[in-house]
């Protein structure tokens, strides 16, 4: 039996994890992409719990970096970065519910080289930035274009090919009243840049507004832990997700489930606060839905918890804390 | 001669620091207060550079904490906190300009005790919070009501009276496309909670959107450095500001000038990043408009820079870095 | 062919990775254990490069927590915690050299239950501490004793058994003139609590003083990422290491090699600084000994770097950054 | 009446704040200066509580930077920096006691220009460092020599003279078993670089070892908040302190008293932790020796606490939190 049939999504969601109608959210259907996650735009799509959406995502630069001689400082225009598909209105979703998004498939689209990475001035994990505001001279800008193929991988150099390990860099729902830049990760999801948000996983997002308003974009073909220079292998994709709704499952920060583990995701600065958020949420989850009290969960995670660094470059850093299903069994 | 006549506002602004028409922004005129700073609401007022606005501000709790037996957790409803007057549309303001706001006067309003402070669950500088997410049991809630009188001060206890030293806790302009909670301080101003934003000072705010969209509220009758428990002496006021416009003065973070010093203001986490922002902005200001190069400014601030901690409790911490006019002379 | 034969230790060290004389560093031979890493104590052992040392380590509490009813606050006495074997004087080692320590074997010793974990007042990753100094009431103390068996694992509860995955929590050389508590991790190694420092790995430590003065102790039977509550499965062991010397290999922070990857290790607060240290060291290593320049290395690690969180509880947090040998090939 | 007669030192110390014998701790008497604070060196002086010590301090570079064309990287040799006078053995001092050091006088010594500041590679508050480890190119080195005169001040440039506001950059007692670099500030004092540690103040240091082992050095002629580039106006001095002993006054972090305020001093990273330490210690002090409970103290400091940033450049950042005596009255 597929693990997914025993997932929380399959057991508790309105459509029981069964796929409904498939919607094509093409570039044309999307029209205007969005640079904030908020409750104001008119939804681009209304769906029922269980429906499948196949979205044509842009890369984080909306395709503006086409050649290795391009200058990001000339072509990119803050805050108009990281374009998002959506918002998708999910019928029946209300504050206090949970949106369950099962990532079914991702594939690159567009002409080669369709992958882009870059050094952007005063952005990245090993350089002075707008926040870590120093007097050192910035590194020079640089753009690198790479072929991305779902079968053969990411052709980094003649000698090095990286496996194609796609994931969704930015996915989230709308805050209740704020409209936040799609560059920011937070309690509603957003720009987490966490490689576990990949095909085969279910991400659970706490709903803050009627209809949930799901956004997604910023898909990566490969990324190391931390997204060190700030730009993964950005690429346009067709990304297919199945969206379901769990009524009255209320929690504060995104959660994720895949075949191996349960994960909670925190975003904050400094990095220890993001880690504390993730681990406290996992303690609380274990206490609420597994057979542990909080202290037992705290002590068990000390011996068996796992941490994945998503990004160390965005306005908030993102980390996931997880525990293997082989250790804790299955959520109630 | 009054120092203000030599201020940057008096020398460079459109109205040359001369007061224009006075507008009464009463509770009735304001109508709906706002919980985000953003470009979407209809402006409550259109003014010309130089105009004076006298605003009836609410306290940060919109007056909901009336008695020391009140429970914040029952009466307050996130994200509907920290109500703001505005937005005020300033004619002629455009992205790249600077709004100069001269704080002319603040006085308490409403029946006594009109001052409120409180312990709010998982909020504050010396407790576990939503970000510094720990397993410790929260402190109990508490509300304290105090008389606030502009002449006699803040009656803390029978034995201790604190001087009335009012300032504007939250003041800012709209981001370009985001709408951010009024609890957040950032590059556009916002919830800085910095006691130097007081009568007699001019705050300079970088404009990001046509009309600038000025918001203000959250006035404090007294506050220590850091706003330690997260809640100063909150009080409703009549706050009077004179708003002017400096065309094409472009910088990244709020600046402030008073009789004694020039100050730059940074907001970030961790606290060293807020300090770095403030100091780097001051280095750049000294290099751009005083007779220093960046290295000289860096070395001089090492010997003579001053730092004021605004808040260590909000989503971003705020600090101001300053240098005495008696040391650096006057900006060009 | 064994990967170790192609390790840096085997290729560059004085004894070429060949094991020499074996020394038994029993409790009796050790005599007084040490609570600081420094250059002052008389070495307990003088060895030649290549020699093997089999050390009887104490647990971090020197065996004082014997029962689940014990109170750490009554039995433990700061700063006399985390007892270390050593110092071991390595003939020929001088400042600027590198000590290569190949971890050959670890096994538990002593009567069952030989594993101990605990909640210690104001210590841990999800509680207020002496540094994250808050007013919340501390969690209650707690001691948990567990059977540890090299074959059958760590018996956590009747339902949960964790695999025996031992590693050395504290290993390091002496600073040049300081004597630092064995609770601290830093550039010389120390209390890193990083699970990759395990049998089968070689750790490379920069030498700061004549003879290197190797210390080790604090062995863990199992530990999750971050050592969340501050206390892993502490246990006394027989730990066997082969110590070799690489002349004139000078770098700043510990490095590690195993069959799969090359790793650099940083320790600092906040956590992003530890991560920056680790990644910058890895960039520099790739630039110095692999076929990359610094910018290429930075961009490659963005796509393929891996991060392991060691501890988020010690006076400095420790993280390792690594890259697979399958991607970068072998160091020159 | 002089405020000092009502100081804690005058009321509680063994010698009641009365000066005893004066000792001249000249360069010759000192002999070898020290680069660590620890319990191992032979004391250079044994004194009775109340005795006065007049110490010839070196500057932080031991006078090696003599000309503006000097290169710090060629002349300075880590870890042999920040030479300290001492250790001074105080008769009767034991773990759990408090050393009270009244700073009576500081004056510059040696030929002009006797003041030195400098830019040192990868050190400072607005540059990438060994901990905030980035890939940016370092700023160039620079040395600046200035005349320092107790009457006329610090001659910064032809146009700018800064007042002579001397203080002791590094003062502390020995840890119990560690020997820590004199570049580090911590619970035992050390390199706090806090301008309030100035003539007219009493600093209270918790004793950890028999005889206390007092060290001091690193005197500054002027310094801004944060010691931004890492190097204040360093200068050799004759510094005169009166050392007294308060038996059984046990606390964790340095405290300070002067005519205006009571202060507690915290050192940690990130900066918010140093601030938390300082404020929590002040809460506890107010609760222990003034008429407040902890919650009242927490709420009062929210309205009236003051924060001084000492350094944002050393291995730990230092901040002082204080409250005016005019608000809280006098300690019991």
Residues with Cβ within 8 Å of residue B257, at least 6 apart in sequence: B7, B8, B9, B201, B202, B204, B263
Angle at C6 between CA C2 and CA C7, to 5 degrees: 105
Cβ contact (<8 Å) for B303 and D162?
Answer: yes
Would you call B117 and D279 a contact, using CB atoms and an 8 Å cutoff? Answer: no
CA D238 from centroid of its chain's CA atoms:
15
pLDDT digits (tens, 9 = 90+) for D260-278: 999 999 999 999 999 999 9
- Extents of the domains making up chain C: 3-250, 257-328
Over pLDDT 90: what percentage of chain D?
98
- Quickly state the pLDDT bin for A62 (edges 50, 70, 90): very high
Average pLDDT of the residues of chain A? 98
Using CA atoms, how far residue A299 sits from A167, C144, C159, C227, C231, in Å, is: 31, 9, 15, 9, 9
Name the H helices within chain C. Answer: 8-12, 27-30, 72-75, 271-289, 294-304, 325-328
Given this model, what pLDDT does residue A332 score? 86
Q: Give the closest-approach CA distance of A17 to chain C in angstroms.
A: 30
**C86-119 confidence digits (pLDDT tens):** 999 999 999 999 999 999 999 999 999 999 999 9
Question: Which residues in chain D are contacts of C133 at CB distance < 8 A?
Answer: 266, 273, 276-277, 279-281
Give A80's contacts in chain B (Cβ within 8 Å): 177
Asked whether the beta carbons of C251 and C285 are under 8 A apart, the reply is yes
The answer to whether residue A207 scores a pLDDT higher than 80 is: yes
D115 pairs with which residues across the strands? D146
Q: Whose CA is closest to C164, among C98, C96, C114?
A: C114
For B218: left if phi > 0, alpha if psi spans -120 to 50, otherwise beta; the answer is left
Interface mutation target, options D132, D135, D139, chain A, most CBs of A under 10 Å:
D135
Residue B222: closest CA among chain D residues belongs to which residue?
A: D303
Tell me what pLDDT residue B235 has. 98
**CATH 2.60.120.580 given to domain B3-249:** yes
- Residue B42 DSSP label: P
D137/A137 CB distance under 8 A = yes
From chain A, the residues in CB contact with B276 under 8 A are: 131-134
Q: What is the DSSP string of D247-309?
A: TT---SS-EEE-SSEEEEEEEESSHHHHHHHHHHHHHHHHHHHSS--HHHHHHHHHHH-EEEE
Computed on alpha carbons and rounded to an integer, the radius of gyration of chain C in Å comes to 19
Q: What are the distances in angstroms from CA C103 to CA A307, B25, C46, D188?
A: 25, 73, 19, 37
Query: In chain C, what residues touch B138 (CB-CB under 8 Å)?
Result: 136
What average pLDDT score do residues C301-305 get? 98
For chain D, list residues whose CB is within 8 angstroms of any CB belonging to chain C. Answer: 35-36, 38, 40, 79-80, 130-135, 175-181, 252, 266, 268-270, 273, 276-277, 279-281, 283, 294, 298
- CATH number of this structure's domain D3-247, picked from the four choices 3.40.50.720, 2.60.120.580, 3.40.50.150, 3.90.209.20: 2.60.120.580
User: What's the pLDDT score for residue C332?
Assistant: 85
The residue written with tokens 């074959």 in the block is C151
Instruction: List Cβ neighbours of C158 (8 Å cut-off, separation of 6 or more).
Output: none
- What pLDDT sits at residue A241? 98
Tokens of B161: 């009276």
Within 10 Å of residue D159's Cβ, how many Cβ atoms? 9
The Cα B307–Cα D80 span in angstroms is 31
What's the gap in Å between the CA of A193 and the closest CA on chain C?
12
Query: Tell me, what DSSP letter sits at residue A4?
Result: G
Cβ-defined contact of B36 to A177 (cutoff 8 Å):
yes
Residues of chain B with C-beta less than 8 angstroms from the C-beta of A135: 280, 283, 294, 298
- Say yes or no for a CB contact (<8 Å) between C302 and A223: yes
Chain C closest-CA separation from residue B136 CA (Å) = 6
Q: How many angstroms separate the CA atoms of D116 and D82, rounded?
A: 13
Measured between CA atoms, the residue of chain C closest to residue B138 is: C136
> What's the pLDDT tens digit per position in A8-56?
999 999 999 999 999 999 999 999 999 999 999 999 999 999 999 999 9
Average pLDDT score, chain D: 98
Burial (CB < 10 A; 0-12, 13-18, 19+), residue A93, is buried
The answer to whether the Cβ–Cβ distance between D162 and B276 falls below 8 Å is no
d(CA D42, CA D86): 9
| Contact list, A154 vs chain C (CB under 8 Å) | 303
**Torsional sign, CA B43, B45, B49, B55:** negative
- Mutate which of C139, C224, C273, C285 to disrupt the A interface (most A C-beta within 10 Å)? C224
Tens-digit pLDDT profile for residues C187-239: 999 999 999 999 999 999 999 999 999 999 999 999 999 999 999 999 999 99
Whether residues A276 and B133 touch (CB distance < 8 A) is answered with yes
The reply to whether residue B136 touches residue C139, judged by beta carbons under 8 angstroms, is yes
CA distance C208 to C177: 9
Chain B nearest C-alpha distance from D245 (Å): 31
CB contact under 8 A, A127 and D139: no
Q: How far is the alpha carbon of D219 from chain B, nearest alpha carbon, in Å? A: 13
CA distances from B85 to B34, B43, B208, B261, C216 (A): 7, 10, 19, 28, 62
* Closest CA of chain A from B36, distance in Å: 7
Find the CB nearest C136 among B127, B133, B270: B127
Asked whether this chain's domains A3-249 and A257-328 adopt the same fold, the reply is: no
- Does residue D1 have a pLDDT over 90? no
> Which of A224, A230, A314, A324 has the most C C-beta neighbours within 10 Å, making it the best mutation to test the interface with C?
A224
Q: Do D327 and B295 touch (CB under 8 A)?
A: no
Cβ-Cβ contacts under 8 Å, B128 against chain C: 128, 134, 136
Q: Is the peptide bond before D79 cis (omega within 30 degrees of 0)?
A: yes
From edge to edge, which strands make up the β-sheet containing A22-25?
Answer: A22-25, A52-57, A237-246, A98-108, A202-206, A255-257, A261-268, A317-324, A306-311
Structure tokens at D222: 């002027």
pLDDT in tens, chain B (332 residues): 699 999 999 999 999 999 999 999 999 999 999 999 999 999 999 999 999 999 999 999 999 999 999 999 999 999 999 999 999 999 999 999 999 999 999 999 999 999 999 999 999 999 999 999 999 999 999 999 999 999 999 999 999 999 999 999 999 999 999 999 999 999 999 999 999 999 999 999 999 999 999 999 999 999 999 999 999 999 999 999 999 999 999 999 999 999 999 999 999 999 999 999 999 999 999 999 998 999 999 999 999 999 999 999 999 999 999 999 999 999 88
Q: What's CA A9's distance to the chain center, in Å?
A: 18
Question: At a CB cut-off of 8 Å and minimum separation 6, what does C311 contact?
Answer: C185, C191, C192, C193, C194, C226, C227, C317, C318
Most A CBs within 10 A among C225, C291, C300, C313, hence the mutation to make, goes to: C225
Tell how strand D52-57 and strand D22-25 pair up. parallel
> Which ranges of C90-232 would DSSP assign to H, the alpha helix?
none
CATH of domain C257-328: 3.10.28.20
Fold of the CATH domain C3-250: Jelly Rolls (2.60.120)
In this model, does residue A267 exceed pLDDT 70?
yes
- In DSSP terms, which residues pair with B189 in a beta bridge? B172, B186
**D-chain residues near B225 (CB < 8 A):** 305-307, 321
pLDDT digits 0-9 by tens, C47-65: 999 999 999 999 999 999 9
Contact assignment for C131 to D268 by CB distance below 8 Å: yes
CB pair distance less than 8 Å for B134 and A176:
no
Q: How many CA atoms lie within 13 A of D32 on its CB side?
A: 8
Residues forming a β-bridge with B147: none
Mutate to test the interface with A, among B178, B188, B275, B276 (most CBs of A within 10 A): B178
Closest-CA distance, A15 to chain C, in angstroms, reads: 33
Specify the residue for token string 């590679």: D121
Number of A/C CB contacts below 8 angstroms equals 145
Chain B residue set in contact with C, beta carbons under 8 Å: 126-128, 132-139, 270
Pairs across B and C, CB distance < 8 A: 32
The residues on B that touch A, with CB distances below 8 Å, are 35-36, 38, 40, 79-80, 130-135, 175-181, 252, 266, 268-270, 273, 276-277, 279-281, 283, 294, 298
CB contact under 8 A, B135 and C126: yes
Q: Which residue has the tokens 């910058």?
A: C280
Q: Where are the alpha helices (DSSP H) in chain B?
A: 8-12, 27-30, 72-75, 271-289, 294-304, 325-328
CB–CB contact C275 A126 (8 Å): no
pLDDT at A309: 98
Contacts of D232 (CB under 8 A, 6+ apart): B302, B303, D117, D169, D193, D220, D221, D222, D223
Burial label, D77 (beta-carbon count in 10 A; 0-12, 13-18, 19+): exposed
- Which pLDDT value is given to residue B1? 67
Sign of CA dihedral D305, D308, D313, D317: negative
Hey, what long-range contacts does B8-13 have (CB within 8 A, 24 or more apart)? B8/B100, B8/B202, B8/B204, B8/B246, B8/B257, B8/B331, B9/B100, B9/B102, B9/B202, B9/B204, B9/B244, B9/B246, B9/B257, B12/B246, B12/B249, B13/B49, B13/B50, B13/B100, B13/B244, B13/B245, B13/B246
- The helix (H) or strand (E) run that includes residue A298 is helix A294-304
Subunits with 3+ Cβ pairs within 8 Å of C are: A, B, D
Residue A305 CB contacts under 8 Å (≥ 6 apart), including other chains: A279, A282, A321, A322, A323, C224, C225, C226, C228
């Amino acid at each position: 039996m597929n693990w997914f049939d025993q997932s929380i999504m399959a057991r508790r969601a309105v459509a029981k994890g069964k796929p409904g109608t498939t919607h094509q959210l093409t570039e044309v259907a999307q029209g205007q992409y969005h640079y904030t996650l908020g409750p104001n735009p008119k939804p681009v799509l209304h769906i029922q719990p269980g429906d499948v959406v196949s979205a044509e995502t842009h890369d984080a630069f909306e395709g503006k970096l086409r050649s290795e001689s391009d200058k990001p400082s000339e072509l990119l225009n803050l805050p108009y970065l990281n374009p998002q598909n959506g918002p998708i209105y999910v019928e029946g979703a209300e504050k206090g519910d949970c949106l369950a998004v099962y990532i079914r498939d991702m594939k690159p689209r567009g002409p080669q080289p369709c992958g882009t990475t870059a050094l952007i001035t005063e952005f990245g994990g090993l350089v002075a930035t707008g926040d870590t505001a120093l007097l050192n001279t910035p590194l020079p800008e640089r753009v690198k274009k790479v072929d991305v193929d779902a079968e053969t991988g990411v052709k980094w150099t003649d000698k090095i090919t990286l496996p194609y390990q796609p994931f969704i860099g930015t996915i989230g729902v709308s805050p209740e009243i704020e409209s936040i830049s799609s560059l920011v990760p937070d309690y509603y999801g957003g720009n987490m840049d966490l490689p576990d948000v990949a095909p085969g996983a279910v991400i659970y997002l706490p709903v803050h507004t009627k209809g949930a308003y799901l956004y997604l974009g910023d898909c990566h073909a490969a990324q190391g832990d931390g997204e060190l220079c700030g730009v993964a292998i950005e690429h346009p994709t067709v990304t297919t997700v199945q969206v379901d709704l769990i009524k009255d499952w209320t929690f504060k920060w995104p959660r994720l489930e895949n075949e191996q583990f349960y994960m909670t995701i925190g975003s904050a600065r400094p990095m220890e606060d993001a880690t504390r958020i993730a681990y406290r949420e996992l303690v609380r989850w274990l206490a609420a839905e597994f057979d542990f009290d909080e202290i037992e969960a705290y002590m068990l995670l000390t011996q068996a918890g796992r941490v994945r660094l998503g990004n160390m470059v965005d306005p908030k850093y993102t980390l996931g804390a997880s525990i293997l299903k082989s250790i804790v069994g299955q959520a109630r």
